[in-house]
Amino acid sequence: MHLHECILFAAGPSPSIPGPGTIALHDIQTGTSLASFKQTSAAARCTAVVQSREGMGGFMLAAQPDKSIMNVYNFQKDQLALKIVLPEKLSAIAVDPRGELCAGGTVQGRIFLWEVASGVMYNAWDAHYRQVNVLRFTQDGAALVSGSDDSSVSVWSVSRLVDDDMQNDLPTPYCNLSDHSLPITDIVCGAGSFPSCRIITSSADHTAKLWDLSSKTLLTTFHFPQAIACLAWDATERLFFAGSADGSIHQVNLFRQRVDKFGRAAMEAVGGGGVNDTIRINDEDPQAAKKRLISVGQPVTTMAISLTSSLLLVGTATGYIHTYDIASHQLLRTLSSHKGMVITHLTTLLRPPDLVGHVSLTLTAGTETKEVPVRPVAPFQRMRDAKARELHEVAMMLPPQPATKAEVFFSYSREELLRDQALFVQTDVGAGQQPASAQARLSELEAEVAKLREQLGKAKGMNDTMWETVVKQIVNEKKDKAGPNGHGKEDPEEAGRRKKRGRT
């Protein structure tokens, strides 16, 4: 199957068009609709997606805004697969990249952490003073980042949250990032494993801040003319986009070109000066700022960058999804199939191999055909239960295991094989032996083999002759004992006794 990138987005109701929303998939190149999952009205940052991989089907989670319910969908059916009753209404959710843990934040500032496959609640704690607006896992799933209305960003170590020995202790964050002055609106995590990675946070205070988690410090502050509603970060961390509710999107380059002392062009990183390093986007060269500005004309609610880092996808509050070329900022395509609704979630992914209505729901390996198993999602617990946590079982498919040490130890490389083969065929005379003597030795061995085969044939013939002689002798002895009618000869004394009994 060819790899095709597609757009997955969630659309919710708007004041002009009330009613249920939907989750839909469209082809990124043609805009063709691939699938649609209805009966969901998730708010912003309340939708999470786990892709189909490692031979198991993916799933989608959508927390409903008006009730403490979470809808579960999988790619193999266009209907609701499971409805989970939650302990509280959630204002933000996130699933780790492996699809094993789900985090949910509430209006009261509380965060829940569940295991998806078993539904076990690993932890529940008061993380913020006000509503949790956004939750993000780092790319390795080792840390959870939360942003709140209280203008603070907290980084939580997942290993400490799931530790059995720390269940009775109040979780403490790895670090608190508290340089913003107004509610947090979005968070994006960069490449790398925790804590050797960076994050960008945006706030209603018109700023976006770049943080280094390994040193727990602020690197640079970017100040914008409008409040930032959402962020999108390039996979190579060369640039990021900041969108606002007035329809403007600013491209911020994290590297710039300069001329060194030898007159040669060189690239240098932007910012990095710490707390006092502030870059004001509106104070730059007007011509340069205009080149890096995209005017959508509609309130921007969410953004995403394609897997190839060549396209910028923009979701708006009017239900449109615009596709821009990042290099030229040219508008390439607009999806208007959900016009009038609000785009609350937007991401790109490879088209799932088990997508409903497009391929057979089987995977063929050799001559054996198996159905694609759906990744298990169990109803989430509404409170922590230590006994259920100890006894729970999780169904999972193990990936192919690498070769063991024993197999690696006994495996032959090409060089070792050639060396051992040369040693095996080497003659006893030494390296200076002539080819003629080797040929004579080969002829001698062949003659000996022929002689042994001849002797083996003679021995086999003698054995066959002896066997036939013994068998014939035994058969003749049995015939001699048997009478003319096939019975044995009668004893004379026994015959006389039988005659005397007949006279009497």
Q: In this model, does residue 175 exceed pLDDT 90? A: yes
Q: In this model, does residue 63 exceed pLDDT 90? A: yes
pLDDT at residue 429 in the model: 44
Q: How confident is the model at residue 493 (pLDDT cuts 50, 70, 90)?
A: low
pLDDT at residue 72 in the model: 96
What is the arithmetic mean of pLDDT over 284-308?
A: 84
Q: Where are the beta strands (DSSP E) in 149-254?
A: 153-157, 175-177, 184-189, 198-203, 207-212, 217-223, 228-233, 239-244, 248-253
CA 184 – CA 224 distance, rounded (Å): 15
Element (H, E) at 209: strand 207-212
Judge whether 86 lies within some domain.
yes
Question: Residues 467, 346: one domain?
Answer: no
Question: Residues 417, 375: one domain?
Answer: no
Q: Give SS3 for 502.
A: helix
pLDDT at residue 18 in the model: 77
Q: How confident is the model at residue 364 (pLDDT cuts 50, 70, 90)?
A: very low
Judge whether 504 lies within some domain.
no
pLDDT at residue 164 in the model: 81
CA 5 – CA 8 distance, rounded (Å): 10
Tracing tokens 């390994």 back to the chain, one arrives at 214
Whether the Cβ atoms of residue 35 and residue 78 lie closer than 8 Å to each other: yes
Judge whether 257 lies within some domain.
yes
Question: Residues 454, 378: one domain?
Answer: no
What's the angle, vertex CA 470, arms to CA 467 and CA 475, rounded to 5? 125
What is the arithmetic mean of pLDDT over 352-379?
A: 68
Q: What integer best gives the mean pLDDT of the chain?
A: 85
Q: Give SS3 for 308.
A: coil
The domain tally of the chain equals: 2
CA 79 – CA 29 distance, rounded (Å): 26
Judge whether 491 lies within some domain.
no
Question: Residues 165, 193: one domain?
Answer: yes
CA 496 – CA 489 distance, rounded (Å): 14
What single-letter DSSP state applies at residue 261? T
Question: Residues 163, 239: one domain?
Answer: yes
Last-in-domain residue among 327, 361, 391: 391
Question: Residues 125, 46: one domain?
Answer: yes
Backbone angles phi, psi at 501, to 5 degrees: -65, -30
Last-in-domain residue among 391, 423, 445: 391
Element (H, E) at 415: helix 414-424
Judge whether 493 lies within some domain.
no
pLDDT tens, residue by residue, 212-258: 999 999 999 999 999 999 999 999 999 999 999 999 999 999 988 77
Question: Residues 303, 344: one domain?
Answer: yes
Q: In this model, does residue 482 exceed pLDDT 80? A: no
pLDDT tens, residue by residue, 311-321: 999 999 999 99
Question: Residues 324, 216: one domain?
Answer: yes
What is the arithmetic mean of pLDDT over 431-458?
A: 80
Residue 120 in tokens:
């076990």
Q: Give SS3 for 70.
A: strand
Last-in-domain residue among 356, 391, 426: 391
Judge whether 496 lies within some domain.
no
What is the arithmetic mean of pLDDT over 258-265?
A: 73
Backbone angles phi, psi at 149, to 5 degrees: -70, -15
CA 189 – CA 233 distance, rounded (Å): 8
Q: How confident is the model at residue 420 (pLDDT cuts 50, 70, 90)?
A: confident
pLDDT at residue 317 in the model: 94
Judge whether 500 lies within some domain.
no
Which CATH number is 373's domain given?
Answer: 2.130.10.10
Question: Residues 348, 447: one domain?
Answer: no
CA 185 – CA 133 distance, rounded (Å): 7
pLDDT above 90 covers a percentage of the chain that reads 54
Of residues 468 and 485, more confidently modeled: 468
Question: Residues 342, 456: one domain?
Answer: no
Cis upstream peptide for 376 (omega within 30°): no
The Cα-based distances of 214 to 46, 174, 209, 282 in angstroms read 28, 10, 16, 31
Q: In this model, does residue 407 exceed pLDDT 60? A: no
pLDDT at residue 431 in the model: 46
What is the arithmetic mean of pLDDT over 9-28?
A: 88
Start-to-end C-alpha separation, the chain: 106
Distance of CA 3 to the CA centre of its chain: 16
pLDDT at residue 394 in the model: 67
What is the arithmetic mean of pLDDT over 363-384?
A: 71
What is the arithmetic mean of pLDDT over 357-373?
A: 54
Distance of CA 167 to the CA centre of its chain: 28
Of residues 391 and 150, more confidently modeled: 150
What is the arithmetic mean of pLDDT over 73-91?
A: 93
What is the arithmetic mean of pLDDT over 11-20?
A: 82
Question: Residues 349, 200: one domain?
Answer: yes
Of residues 132 and 370, more confidently modeled: 132
Question: Residues 453, 315: one domain?
Answer: no
Torsion of CA 178, 182, 187, 189, to 10 degrees: -30
pLDDT at residue 104 in the model: 97
Name which of 276-290, 310-324, 436-450 the model is least confident about: 276-290
Judge whether 403 lies within some domain.
no
Q: How confident is the model at residue 341 (pLDDT cuts 50, 70, 90)?
A: very high
Range of the domain at 428: 408-483
